[in-house]
Amino acid sequence: MANFSQIGTFGDVSAEQDDAVLSYFLKTEAVDRIASGDILLVLGRKGAGKTALTKYFSTSRGNNLSVSLSLRDYPWNLHAQRRNLGASDIESYVSSWRYLIAVKAASLLLTSGKAKNTTDSFKALNTFLIDNYGAAEPRLGDILRPAGLNLSKGSIAPSVMGNALGGIEFERKSGAVPAELDALTDTILDAVGWHSDCHGAVKEAKKTYSQSNGCYYCCPDCNTG
């Protein structure tokens, strides 16, 4: 066992500046509770370990993909204009945040090398991102920046009440995000394989693996024994 005189460093002054923080990261019960979904929000004073936890969960492991979103230098003034005026104050930004998260999820999957980019849905997602952002991996601060979103041939094809959308305008006279944005977000999430409940996920999984079943512990409603 090394004594104190043999220890070269205890890490940087702050975890934000310490690239080696995961080399001495101590996995505790808190990590397991976050991973299981029991904890969805982590709060703490400076030095409590929030950044270390972020770096730990930002590292993709196995078939799991993850990414941390830094809101430092985020264009809050621009985002303030992307609100749903038809919703309550507490829900007025739900649509814009859902869209932002959906785009980042699609981008992560497309650039990870783990996605089956040959499928029509992933080709359409890639076309959508390149048409509107110039790359499959747009910067976080640029996702809500376009005045409008183009939906060209070969791109994803959201619809409202059976009517296909040709594009979506962000900057309208009313200043509100259009209701069509939710339809676009749902189309993106469908393409990346997100499901609002276990029933939809199991149904989709059975198309490839006929023996798919819901987890006995975490998805008992979809477990058939």
102 and 178 part of one domain: yes
| pLDDT grade for 8, boundaries at 50, 70 and 90 | low
At 128-161, the pLDDT tens digits run 999 999 999 999 999 999 988 998 888 888 888 7
Q: What is the pLDDT of residue 102?
A: 93
Over residues 205-225, the mean pLDDT reads 76
Look at the chain and count its residues. 225
78 and 174 part of one domain: yes
130 and 34 part of one domain: no
Q: What is the pLDDT of residue 200?
A: 72
Range of the domain at 48: 14-59
User: pTM for the whole thing?
Assistant: 0.73
Query: Which one, of 205, 204, 167, lies nearest residue 183 by Cα?
Result: 167
186 and 118 part of one domain: yes
Alpha-carbon span 116 to 16, nearest angstrom: 34
Query: Which one, of 217, 136, 146, lies nearest residue 181 by Cα?
Result: 146
155 and 54 part of one domain: no
